[in-house]
């Protein structure tokens, strides 16, 4: 299968589904990580331009550890809006990556407008990629992908209906997250712990709920056209 995971900011995919993506890789899937915004708000010390450059290279390094393809969409952090241009860009992303499954943010529940907008964009365009009258760089993609929403930040308001055991891929997840060096101290200052510690609490808690050491959790978007497939690893 081909999997497309889209996060609003660099490190979102790592926090919420890197363990699952690693299992996908292990079973032979092809995985692409895409990042909506340039992460240019994630700093207290350097300029927006500098932090954006740093974060792109951190995110690429993280994707490399996973063995995933990587797409940097580069929209301005904190200011992602839906518009015709942006919608066409996401249509083209799906056409380029031709995914069986898209994993992204929950448009209703997560904590940040960039998250909501990213999730909503993927929901909006999941059928449009097949429309021949909509022209973008890549040819149309006729298969409508499954859509899964990953956990919210700190799990607030999220009601999972699928859990994935990531105990065996937890180290990869830790390593990927550690590439985001610029965010480690930023988060440390804000939350009094590293992003890895933050993530370990969440993964332990989701594991507790589902009977394993570490887990990630998801909510399937049940919308037309639904399918009879069960695609998570």
Candidate residues 94, 172, 187, 215; the one interacting with its own copies per rule CB under 8 A: 215
Q: How far apart, in whole angstroms, are the C-alpha atoms of residue 221 and residue 207?
A: 22
Cis peptide before 27 (omega within 30 of 0): no
Candidate residues 160, 169, 182, 187; the one interacting with its own copies per rule CB under 8 A: 160
Measured from the CB atom, the residue of 178 and 204 that comes closer to its own copies is 204
Q: Does 127 bind its own copies (CB under 8 A)?
A: yes
Candidate residues 134, 168, 174, 185; the one interacting with its own copies per rule CB under 8 A: 134
Q: How far is the CB of 103 from its own copies (least distance, A)?
A: 15
- What 3-state DSSP class applies to 162? strand
Q: How far is the CB of 73 from its own copies (least distance, A)?
A: 17
Binding segment for its own copies (CB under 8 A), chosen from 1-9, 26-34, 44-52, 61-69, is: 44-52
Candidate residues 16, 32, 36, 40; the one interacting with its own copies per rule CB under 8 A: 40
Q: What is the DSSP letter of 179?
A: T
Candidate residues 152, 169, 179, 182; the one interacting with its own copies per rule CB under 8 A: 152
Burial class, 10, CB count within 10 angstroms (exposed 0-12 / middle 13-18 / buried 19+): buried
Q: Does 177 bind its own copies (CB under 8 A)?
A: no
Task: Please give the C-alpha separations between residue 128 and each of 15, 43, 205, 226, in angstroms, as whole numbers.
Answer: 29, 36, 37, 15
Lookup result for tokens 């929901």: 123
Q: What is the DSSP string of 74-121?
A: EEPTT-----HHHHHHHHHHHHHH--SEEEE--TTTSSSHHHHHHHHH
Size of the site for its own copies (CB under 8 A): 63
Contact 117/105 with Cβ under 8 angstroms? no
Residues in region 66-125 near its own copies by CB under 8 A: 77-79, 81-84, 87, 111-113, 123-124
Q: Does 25 bind its own copies (CB under 8 A)?
A: no
Lookup result for tokens 């990042």: 35
Binding site for its own copies (CB under 8 A): 40-41, 43-44, 47-48, 51, 77-79, 81-84, 87, 111-113, 123-124, 127-128, 131-134, 152-157, 159-165, 191-192, 198, 201-202, 204-205, 208-213, 215, 220, 222-228, 230, 232
């Amino acid at each position: 299968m081909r999997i497309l995971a889209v996060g609003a900011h660099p490190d979102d995919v790592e926090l919420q589904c890197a363990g699952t993506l690693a299992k996908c890789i292990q079973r032979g899937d092809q995985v692409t990580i895409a990042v909506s915004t340039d992460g240019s708000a994630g700093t207290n010390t350097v300029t927006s331009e500098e932090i954006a450059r740093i974060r792109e290279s951190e995110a690429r390094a993280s994707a490399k550890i996973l063995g995933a393809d990587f797409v940097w969409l580069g929209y301005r952090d904190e200011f992602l809006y839906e518009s015709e241009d942006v919608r066409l860009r996401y249509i083209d992303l799906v056409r380029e990556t031709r995914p069986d499954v898209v994993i992204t943010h929950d448009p209703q529940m997560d904590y940040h407008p960039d998250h909501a907008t990213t999730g909503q964009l993927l929901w909006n365009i999941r059928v449009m990629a097949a429309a021949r009258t909509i022209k973008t760089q890549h040819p149309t993609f006729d298969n409508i992908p499954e859509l899964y929403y990953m956990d919210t930040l700190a799990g607030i308001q999220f009601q999972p209906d699928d859990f994935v055991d990531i105990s065996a891929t937890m180290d990869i997840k830790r390593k990927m997250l550690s590439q985001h060096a610029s965010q480690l101290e930023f988060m440390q200052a804000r939350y009094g712990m590293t992003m890895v510690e933050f993530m370990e609490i969440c993964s332990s808690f989701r594991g507790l709920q589902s009977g394993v050491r570490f887990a990630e959790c998801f909510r399937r978007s049940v919308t037309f056209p639904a399918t009879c497939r069960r695609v998570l690893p």
